[in-house]
Amino acid sequence: MGEFKPLVFSGVQPTGNLHLGNYLGAIRKFVALQENNDCMYCVVDLHALTAQLVHDDMPAQIRSITAAFLAAGIDPKQHIVFNQSQVPQHAELAWIFNCVARLGWMNRMTQFKDKAGKDREQASLGLYAYPSLMAADILVYRATHVPVGEDQKQHLELTRDIAMKFNIDFMDKIRPTGLGIDITVGEEPVHAYFPMVEPLIDGPAPRVMSFKDGTKKMSKSDPSDLSRINLMDDADAISRKIRKAKTDPDALPSEVDGLKGRPEADNLVGIFAALADKTKAEVLGEFGGQQFSVFKPALVDLSIEVLAPISAEMRRLMADPSYIDSVLRDGGARARERAEKTMNEVRDIIGFVR
Ligand code: TRP
C-alpha cells in the first residue's frame, strides 16, 4: 500500500478585484499551508475565458492576483506561483479528461447551471467543460490536497470521479509501467495513477457577507463598492466602509446564539474573529453588551492592522509589473517541468507513440 506524495494545489480566477472574502476564504489558507507542504498556486487565466471571452485588462488582472499572493506572504521560491496559460499541459490533460468524464456527470454541475443562466444554448462549451479543466489543473501535478471554498466541493468530487475512472479503465496499462500506487478507495483496492484529491474546506474562514446586506455574499460584482473591502483599499477606505456598514440598533449579544436573525452583526463579528484568529464566542466575550459605536472602531483598527500592509505591498508590487512577470515565468517553467513528466507518463499509459 503506497501513498501519493502530498502536494497542495489551488487556483484563483483573474476576474475582478480581490476582496476581504477572497483573502479570508482562500489566500490566507494558502499562506498557512506553505508552512508544512509543497504548494502550487495558480492564476487560472484559461478558466477566465469560460464566461466571458474578452477581458478589459487581462494582464493587470493576472498580475493583481499574483501580487495578492505575494503580498499575503506566499513564497514563490519555496513554492510555485504561476499562471495556467504558461503550462499548456493543463489544456492537454483537460482534453483527455473530456474523454473520461461522462455527459451525465457534467450535467449535474450546479455552478454550470448557475453561470449559464436561462439561455443555456448561448453558454460556451468552455463553461460546460470548466470542471474538466479544473480536474486537469490539479491532476497534472498529481496533487493530493486542494484548499477551496464550499462552492467548489462538487468540482472536486468530479475530479475524484475522473481520477477513479481513469485509474480503473487504464488499470491494466498502469500496472506494467510501475507508475501506479496501490490505494483503497472506500473499501475498494485500486491501482491508481491519479490520487483521490482531498478538499481542504474547513477552518476558521467565515462566509464573508456584504456590508450592505448581511444575507448576500461579499462579491466583486456588487455595484456598490461600499459593500466590500477590496484587498487594495487603503486605510481610509477600509475605515470608511466599516463605519458605513449596515448594522442593527441593538448592542452585541454575549453569546453566539444571540447573533441568530442578525446577519449584519453576525458578519462583522465573524470578520473580527477571523482577522483576530479567535472564535466568535471569544469576540463576544470581549464585546458582548457593547454598542456598534464601540465595536466598529475596534474592527477598523484590527482590519487596518491586518490588511493595510497587504494592500500597501500589493500596490508596491503592481508598480513593477516586470518583477511580477518574472515570478510567473519562473513558476511557469518549474510547473511545466512537473506537468510534462506527468503528461509523458499519461501518454505512455494511453499508448500514444512518442
Ligand atoms: N474553480 C475555482 C474557483 O472558481 C478556481 C479553480 C480553477 C481551481 N482550477 C482550480 C481551484 C484548481 C482549485 C484547484 O474558485
> Residue 1: is it exposed, middle or buried by C-beta count within 10 angstroms (0-12/13-18/19+)?
exposed
Does 139 have pLDDT greater than 70? yes
Same domain, 239 and 116: no
Pick from 311, 305, 313: nearest CA to 233: 311
Sheet holding 145-147, edge to edge: 80-83, 39-43, 8-12, 145-147, 198-200
Q: How far is the CA of 34 from the centre of ligand 1 (A)?
A: 18
The residue with cell 511557469 is: 332
**pLDDT tens digits, 58-76:** 999 999 999 999 999 999 9
- 27, 59, 82, 234, 240 from 318: Cα distances, Å: 18, 11, 16, 14, 24
Same domain, 77 and 171: yes
Domain count, the chain: 2
List beta partners, residue 183.
190
**pLDDT tens digits, 256-268:** 999 999 999 999 9
Active site residue 296: no
Does 338 have pLDDT greater than 60? yes
Active site residue 244: no
The answer to the question of residue 18 being in a domain is: yes
Nearest alpha carbon, ligand 1 atom 11: 11
Separation of CA 34 from chain center? 15
The residue with cell 486537469 is: 136
Active site residue 220: yes
List beta partners, residue 43.
12, 83
Nearest alpha carbon, ligand 1 atom 6: 11
Q: How far is the CA of 96 from the centre of ligand 1 (A)?
A: 19
pTM of the predicted model over 0.85: yes
Q: What are the two backbone dihedrals, phi and then psi, of residue 201, each rounded to the nearest 5 degrees?
A: -105, -35
Same domain, 137 and 232: no
Q: Report the mean per-residue pLDDT for the chain.
A: 95
The answer to the question of residue 212 being in a domain is: no
The answer to the question of residue 213 being in a domain is: no
Does 206 have pLDDT greater than 90? no
CATH number at residue 77: 3.40.50.620
Same domain, 114 and 256: no
The answer to the question of residue 59 being in a domain is: yes
Does 340 have pLDDT greater than 60? yes
The answer to the question of residue 64 being in a domain is: yes
Pick from 198, 119, 117, 190: nearest CA to 159: 198
Give percent above pLDDT 90 in the chain: 93
Same domain, 200 and 230: no
Ligand 1 in reach of 45 Cβ (< 6 A):
no
Cell representation of residue 25: 476564504
Residue 150 pLDDT: 85
Give percent above pLDDT 70 in the chain: 98
Nearest alpha carbon, ligand 1 atom 13: 10
Cell representation of residue 165: 475512472
The answer to the question of residue 179 being in a domain is: yes
Q: How far is the CA of 152 from the centre of ligand 1 (A)?
A: 7
Does 221 have pLDDT greater than 90? no
Nearest alpha carbon, ligand 1 atom 8: 11
Does 328 have pLDDT greater than 90? yes
Pick from 109, 140, 129, 105: nearest CA to 51: 129
Choose which residue among 29, 30, 41, 47 to substitute to test ligand 1 binding: the one with the highest number of ligand atoms within 8 A of its C-beta: 47
Same domain, 312 and 346: no
Q: How far is the CA of 12 from the centre of ligand 1 (A)?
A: 6
Mean pLDDT across the stretch 136-146? Answer: 98
Same domain, 84 and 157: yes
Say how far apart CA 64 and CA 86 lie, in whole Å: 17
**pLDDT tens digits, 82-105:** 999 999 999 999 999 999 999 999
Residue 268 pLDDT: 97
Same domain, 200 and 290: no
Choose which residue among 44, 81, 93, 221 to substitute to test ligand 1 binding: the one with the highest number of ligand atoms within 8 A of its C-beta: 44
Mean pLDDT across the stretch 78-82? Answer: 98
Q: How far is the CA of 200 from the centre of ligand 1 (A)?
A: 13
Choose which residue among 10, 19, 158 to substitute to test ligand 1 binding: the one with the highest number of ligand atoms within 8 A of its C-beta: 10
Same domain, 192 and 338: yes
Buried b (16+ CB within 10 A) or exposed e, 93-122: bbebbbebbeeebbeebeebeeebeeeeee
The answer to the question of residue 215 being in a domain is: no
Same domain, 130 and 169: yes
The answer to the question of residue 326 being in a domain is: yes
Q: Domain range spanning residue 306?
A: 225-317
> What confidence tier does 15 reach under pLDDT thresholds 50, 70, 90?
confident
CATH number at residue 253: 1.10.240.10
